[in-house]
Amino acid sequence: MDAKAAARHVVVSGGDQLVDLSHRIHANPELAFDEVQSSGWCADALEAGGFAVERGPYDLPTAFEATAGTGELTIAICCEYDALPGIGHACGHNIIATSAVGAGLALAGLADDLGITVKVLGTPAEEGGGGKVLMLDRGAFDGVHAAMMVHPAPMELDRMECLAVAHVDVHYKGKSAHASAWPEEGINAADALTVAQVGIGLLRQHIHDTDRIHGIVTKGGDAPNIVPDHTVGKWYIRARTLEELAVLEPKVRRCFEAGALATGCEVDVKPMSPNYSEMIPDEDMTAAYRQNAIALGRTFADPGAAVAGSTDMANVSLAVPTIHPMLGLDSLPAVNHQPEFTTHCATPTADKAALDGAVAMAWTSIDLAADGPMRKRLLTRA
């Protein structure tokens, strides 16, 4: 049996266990940095499959690092498992985790013969928190020659177009008062947030059409007859690149400052994670993955179907040759971050996508190991 057939056999023969893992994670959604069960289940499966597993590395309790093989070419497969508030796994991280675990298990027994070291990295808090950025900064990707993961979407794509993003919380501090009897004694923190949102709305005329600014009010006050003395909003600021984000973000911050100035409030704009960067996929790895996915019967959408989100995997792509293809769930009109998409992430179609993603990543890793020029390039990159 050749390496690719052997890798596929591992995934197919363990398919029931992998699908069970996906469904358990889906049924027990955990938010950023609190993915105790999900990360533990993934680490357990890898440990049972022969990996040496370190739990809680890089000062992140819900991260893990699972290693198999001793070859000179090191390939990292990233495993995400955090959910979204209120709507659970509406971005399908249960599928991401399952595909990563499956790919790792498929490669574990082949690693030394292929001359590779396989690292499956459990990376918490992609949905705002930047687990991969923290792990990158703390050395998790040191010595890694190639990194990959897959991500569910409504349609099959060989890459995800990514915007750079800043995540910020905005706090206004005013002064409470009786809203009817003594309103003149109050300083209205809700008004400050309103002024800021108006300013952001007007700013949209003067920014790139690829920029995105969106937010929510998480605390608007306590009662209609109390002048709000504390309000909070969560905002995402996105641009095509970190360079463009560095121009846009100060403009948005001035809108927040305008709310404070107009009302007499104090304002505190707090970064809630490291900034995520733009994505630069490795074209040779992308081509190899695409060929393998097609061989499995995956059908890719027209390139014009590209969508732009953000991910902390993008930061990895600036440091290490990386791919981030999308697994189609045939879910339209349901799309990521909708409750309807949550449902689509635990169906037979989603289960097949998770297993196909595992095989496609394993096969791509085998190609990286076997392809002389590509292996040499990865080993000798600056």
pTM comes to 0.94
In this structure, the answer to whether residues 168 and 156 fall within a common structural domain is no
Q: How far apart are CA 236 and CA 168, in angstroms?
A: 6
Within the chain, what is the greatest distance between any pair of CA atoms? Answer: 83
Helix (H, G, I), strand (E, B) or coil at 180: coil
CA distances from 158 to 161, 182, 312 (A): 10, 61, 18
Percentage of the chain lying above the pLDDT 90 cut: 95
Structural domain total, the chain: 2
% of the chain surpassing 70 pLDDT: 98
Last residue in a domain, options 252, 271, 290: 271
Q: Which whole number is the average pLDDT over 218-244?
A: 97
**pLDDT tens, residue by residue, 6-44:** 999 999 999 999 999 999 999 999 999 999 999 999 999
How far is the C-alpha of 131 from the C-alpha of 374, rounded, in Å? 29
The reply to whether 23 and 143 lie within a common domain is: yes
pLDDT tens per residue, range 105-155: 999 999 999 999 999 999 999 998 999 999 999 999 999 999 999 999 999
**One domain, residues 293 and 152:** yes
Q: Which residue has the tokens 């309790």?
A: 61
CA separation (Å) from 204 to 195, 199, 209, 255, 267?
Answer: 15, 9, 9, 12, 22
Q: Which residue has the tokens 């993603």?
A: 357
How does pLDDT run across 270-322, given as a tens digit for each residue?
A: 999 999 999 999 999 999 999 999 999 999 987 665 567 899 999 999 999 99
Indicate the residue among 271, 290, 305 that finishes a domain: 271
- One domain, residues 187 and 135: no
From first CA to last CA, the distance across the chain in angstroms is 36
* Same domain, residue pair 12 and 140: yes
Are 110 and 256 part of one and the same domain? Answer: no
Say if CB 246 and CB 285 are below 8 A apart. Answer: no
In terms of domains, do 152 and 186 share one? no
Query: In the listed set 219, 249, 271, which residue is the last one of a domain according to the structure?
Result: 271
Residues 43, 140, single domain; the answer is yes
Question: Does residue 194 sit in the same domain as residue 155?
Answer: no
Residue 48 lies in domain: 3-162+278-380
Listed residue (322, 381, 342) closest to 75, CA to CA: 322
> 140 and 168, same structural domain?
no
Is pLDDT above 80 for 60?
yes
Residue 229 and residue 367 in one domain: no
Tell me, yes or no, whether 48 and 193 share the same domain.
Answer: no
CATH classification at residue 296: 3.40.630.10
CATH label of the domain that carries residue 181: 3.30.70.360
Taking only the tens place, the pLDDT of each residue in 145-194 is: 999 999 999 999 999 989 999 999 999 999 999 999 999 999 999 999 99
